[in-house]
Structure 1
Amino acid sequence: MFENIYLTSILILAGSYISVRILIPKISWVVQSRNLADAPDKRSSHKVTTPTMAGFAFFLVLIFGLAFLDKWDTDAVATNLIAAVALMFAIGLKDDLVLSTPKAKILAELIAISFIVFCSCFESFSLDGFFGINVMPSVLNYVVITVIMLTIINSYNLIDGIDGLASTVGIMIFALFGIIFFLAGEYFYFLLCLCLKGILLAYLPFNLSSSKKIFMGDTGSLIIGFCIGFLSIKFLSMDNLSLAEYSFQSQNKLVVIGAIFFVPLFDTLRVMGVRILNKKSPFFPDNSHIHHILINSGLTHFKASFFLCFLHLIISVTLIYLSFSLNSFQMIIVFSLLFLALLGLFHKLNSNVERKNNFMYLIRTIQFLF
């Protein structure tokens, strides 16, 4: 019965959704009863103490989901993924409870990535002609995989700043990956995408709720970010013949990953650039993310998340469509022009917010004096 892809798809999607819906209220109760809820600080976009660590439910459901999908795991990678996700869960849990230093988080991420890097199913990793680069030395392959995964994990972690954003963007990413893997006949990875999508769909109403709100925390965002990075590396390691049927140009694989992950990647590069220009550490926490700009412009959390999710979907689909006909050099030009256009847009929005804040400060000063 469980060898039928359609029946298994329904079971894994429904099972992950229902399990998270059951688990999250229990986790929320434990967090509140033990006074572990997240208290707002000067950087927080929320105003009241809120339970966190919904990622605990993500971890439990994902582990059971991977065990359930064991018969579909033709690459025998599930054990490696479970070990890596467990480490991500541990460092995320520590960060949610007592905070972790950036060095400790990076070290844990590197160890977790090592479980994936040395898996035999990723030995065929190649850039497939991207900028004329085909086969690379094994050591360089490992370095590229590590850099890609580190970038994705931490970029996803950084967009988890307002209600609904990380989960809606995550749902879009897993939907896009799911379609690609299904068409390519990579059913284990397709089912993994469904499991992760079910998890986030179940979590989203709690995150947007005013009375039952809970955050995924680093416990959740590190796990989801790691899974996105894992799926990205699998896509880059896929046999070109499985994609050739859909007129896909293999040299654009890396660009497609950038397209699928566009909004988190754009936000991370933009924020780090702004911090460096202001002579601060690129890892210095602040409120300069694009979602903060939208919130400061007057949008609600829901509207800001919906706007960025819609923007992410439009950009991703457009770039993927263009990748069928353009080569990697042309795609990089399109990618760069789009990146610059969005930089200009958010710079304009941020400038308007700063002028508004300066004006309001002047008004309050005059009122105080008189």
Structure 2
Amino acid sequence: MLQQLLSNLTVVSILAVINSLLLVYYIIPKISWVIITRNLNEKPNERSSHKGATPTMAGVAFFITLILTLFFIQHFDTENIGLNLIASTTLIFMVGAKDDLVVSSPKAKLFMEALAVLFLFFHNALEGNNLYGFLGIYEIPLWLVYIASTLLVLTIINAYNLIDGIDGLASIIAIIIFSVFSLIFYAISLFFYYLICLSFIGMLLAYLFFNFSTKKKIFMGDTGSLLIGFCIAFLSLRFMAIDISMYSHFTFKPENGFFVLMAILCIPLFDLLRVIGVRLLQKKSPFYPDRNHSHHVLIDFGMSHFKATMLLGLINYLFVIFIIKLGTYLNSFQMLGVFVLAFGLFLLLFYRLKSSINTERLKIKEEKV
């Protein structure tokens, strides 16, 4: 009876969302209590958008919930990739927990993240070696697939990690990403990945309640952002590895699959490229911490955390719809031009906002003098 229940997609879909939501809602207060009791609160610094010490490591609840979810949805794991995902996410969880407690060096984190990717490569479901005409490229060597996949995963993990700077932003962006992926995987009957997306949506909805709270506030920490970023990267690899026959379920051309993926991840990726560019122009390390992130600029411009989060989330969501629609008509070379133009507009917008902020600060400073 129980096996029949857990093999019903509708039932499991509902349970994936509700169980994940309730589990995270139950576990987070326990984590907060431990963090506060042991005085492990995150202390604000010059880059922080918060004034008081706040509990962190809500990602512990995400990890526990993910492992339990993988157990209950194993019937739909037709590719038998669940164990690889457990091994990889366990490594990522360890890296995040260590970083939240004692801080890890960027090089150590990158090494462990790359090692986690290696566990995924023990399964051939992610070995997509055909780009279906993307910029004139079709099949590529398997060794190049491994290198490109590793770089893609590391980029996605750290891009997502860097947007976790204000209340709700990382959660809202992730909910949008998982929502789009859930529709894609449902359409092509990859229900295991679809259910993982639903589970994360449930987790993040519960987390938002605490993250936006004034009395029960908690941050996901690197424990959460690295785990979520890694799972987004995992789903991205599976999306890039889908067979061309599955593209009959989509309106966009197969050669534009990579651009659709970049649109799904546009806010984290655009922000990462912009921040690295600014730091290099200032002759600083790409890992140098500052307040040049898009969300910091919006907050410094006078927006509340909620408004800045909703604006960036809306931009991400609308850009996905825009690119999927264009991907039906344009080829990959034309789509590249669209992306260059979109990124240029993104740079221009935040350059203007940053200049306005600096001008206003200069006026205030001169008035004080």
TM-score band w.r.t. shorter chain: over 0.9
Equivalent AA in structure 1 for residue 90 of structure 2 = A
* Corresponding residue for residue 311 of structure 1: 315
* Corresponding residue for residue 242 of structure 2: 238
* Corresponding residue for residue 134 of structure 2: 130
- State how 1:105-144 maps to structure 2 within 5 Å: 105-144=109-148
What is the aligned-residue identity percentage? 48
* Corresponding residue for residue 333 of structure 1: 337
Distance 1:50 1:220 in 2: 15
Equivalent AA in structure 2 for residue 309 of structure 1 = G
Equivalent AA in structure 2 for residue 111 of structure 1 = L
Distance 1:213 1:105 in 2: 26
Distance 1:40 1:257 in 2: 34
* Corresponding residue for residue 195 of structure 2: 191
Given that 1:123 and 1:237 are in contact with CA atoms closer than 8 Å, whether structure 2 keeps it comes out as yes
* Corresponding residue for residue 252 of structure 1: 256
Equivalent AA in structure 2 for residue 308 of structure 1 = L
Q: CA-to-partner distance for each residue in 1:280-302, whole Å, 9 max, x for gaps?
A: 11111111001000000000111
Deviation, structure 1 residue 237: 0.4
Given that 1:125 and 1:238 are in contact with CA atoms closer than 8 Å, whether structure 2 keeps it comes out as no
| TM-score normalised to structure 2 length | 0.98
Note closer, same or farther for the CA distance 1:124–1:272 as it changes in structure 2 (3 Å cut): closer
* Corresponding residue for residue 159 of structure 2: 155
1:346 counterpart = 2:350: yes
Note closer, same or farther for the CA distance 1:300–1:245 as it changes in structure 2 (3 Å cut): closer
Note closer, same or farther for the CA distance 1:346–1:133 as it changes in structure 2 (3 Å cut): same
- State how 1:194-209 maps to structure 2 within 5 Å: 194-209=198-213
Which ranges of structure 1 fall in alignment gaps of 5 or more residues? 366-370
Equivalent AA in structure 2 for residue 276 of structure 1 = L
* Corresponding residue for residue 282 of structure 1: 286
Equivalent AA in structure 1 for residue 104 of structure 2 = S
Distance 1:317 1:201 in 2: 22
Aligned residues: 365
Which ranges of structure 2 fall in alignment gaps of 5 or more residues? none
1:16 counterpart = 2:14: no
1:361 counterpart = 2:362: no
Given that 2:128 and 2:145 are in contact with CA atoms closer than 8 Å, whether structure 1 keeps it comes out as no
SS at match of 2:80: coil
Equivalent AA in structure 1 for residue 156 of structure 2 = I
Deviation, structure 1 residue 229: 0.3
Given that 2:255 and 2:331 are in contact with CA atoms closer than 8 Å, whether structure 1 keeps it comes out as yes
Equivalent AA in structure 2 for residue 188 of structure 1 = F
Distance 2:160 2:286 in 1: 16
Given that 2:47 and 2:290 are in contact with CA atoms closer than 8 Å, whether structure 1 keeps it comes out as yes
Distance 1:345 1:328 in 2: 26
1:219 counterpart = 2:210: no
Distance 1:123 1:337 in 2: 31
Q: CA-to-partner distance for each residue in 1:248-269, whole Å, 9 max, x for gaps?
A: 3111111111000000000000
Distance 2:281 2:245 in 1: 45
Which residue of the other structure, out of 267, 289, 295, is the alignment partner of 1:291?
A: 295
Deviation, structure 1 residue 128: 1.8
1:73 counterpart = 2:77: yes
* Corresponding residue for residue 368 of structure 1: none
Distance 1:134 1:205 in 2: 45
1:90 counterpart = 2:69: no
* Corresponding residue for residue 272 of structure 2: 268
Distance 2:249 2:239 in 1: 15
Give RMSD over aligned pairs: 0.9
Given that 1:117 and 1:145 are in contact with CA atoms closer than 8 Å, whether structure 2 keeps it comes out as no
4+ runs deviating over 3 angstroms = none
* Corresponding residue for residue 104 of structure 2: 100
Deviation, structure 1 residue 126: 2.5
Distance 1:102 1:193 in 2: 28
| TM-score normalised to structure 1 length | 0.97
